[in-house]
Amino acid sequence: MKLILLGAPGAGKGTVAKLLTAVDGSVQISTGDILRGAVTAGTELGKEAAGYMKRGDLVPDSLIMGIMEARLQESDCEKGFLLDGFPRTIPQAEELTELLKKVDIQLDMAVEIDVPKDIILDRLCTRRTCENPDCQAIYNVKSNPPKVEGICDKCGAKAIQREDETEEAISHRLETYNEKTAPLIDFYKEKGLLLSVPATSSDAVIEAVKKKLNL
């Protein structure tokens, strides 16, 4: 399947993407994971992106488009891909449309994961992320804590609160989402590509996607 996952920070895009990879072997492409990996590795890309990310601002469209143009043409994308965190602005969406046309790839749909704002806020404040760039497993101190506090179950690295998950950065990320990313919902609706799912649970989203694609 070739999907875009839309939704506010904390809506569960990453969790849904991981579950969908198990359905048909499509790959998850998370621009947030790619950028955090670059910051930890200290690459040029990471150095450019770090300041924006820490504040909860979007990194410039040109940086993201460079990453995605290369990534979407890698061979593992042929089976399908789940775009998690991209596109995030109207210019990114327009450029993605052009790029997909150029490389002759047809998108199935954009899935909007719709979660009430109070749930989003609570989730982001209690979220912990594995700091190992090759793992980046996600935990929640209330609903899904690691077995040993502060330690990732999967790889043993530290499970930490992300630098952009302070209360201040979170509210800024939500404002950025409303202003820059929420307009993509109408953008894909007008193209007839939108599936909107009230996300009571990640499993409910998976079922809705499978049903829509007859899987």
Residues with a known catalytic role: 13, 88, 127, 162, 173
Distance of CA 195 to the CA centre of its chain: 17
Pick between residue 65 and residue 214 the one whose CB is nearest to ligand ADP. 65
| 173 lies in the site for ligand ADP, by CB under 6 A | yes
CA distance 45 to 185: 28
Rule CB under 6 A: which of 132-171 touch ligand ADP? Answer: 164
Q: Which stretch in 29-37, 86-94, 131-139, 168-176 sits in contact with Zn ion by CB under 5 A? A: 131-139
User: Which of 3, 6, 130, 170 lies at the binding interface for Zn ion (CB under 5 A)?
Assistant: 130
| Ramachandran class of 172: left when φ > 0, alpha when ψ lies in -120 to 50, beta otherwise | alpha
Q: Which stretch in 27-35, 69-77, 95-103, 206-214 sits in contact with ligand ADP by CB under 6 A? A: 27-35
CA distance 1 to 21: 9
**Residues 6+ positions from 87 with CB-CB distance below 8 Å:** 4, 93, 95, 96, 184
| 146 lies in the site for Zn ion, by CB under 5 A | no
CA distance 113 to 96: 20
CA nearest 14: which of 163, 175, 130? 130
Pick between residue 26 and residue 176 the one whose CB is nearest to ligand ADP. 176
Rule CB under 6 A: which of 75-104 touch ligand ADP? Answer: 85-86, 88, 92
Strand partners, 111: 5, 195
Write the binding mask 33 to 72 for ligand ADP: x where contact by CB under 6 A, - elsewhere: --x----------------xx--xxxx----x--------
Site size toward Zn ion (CB under 5 A) is 8
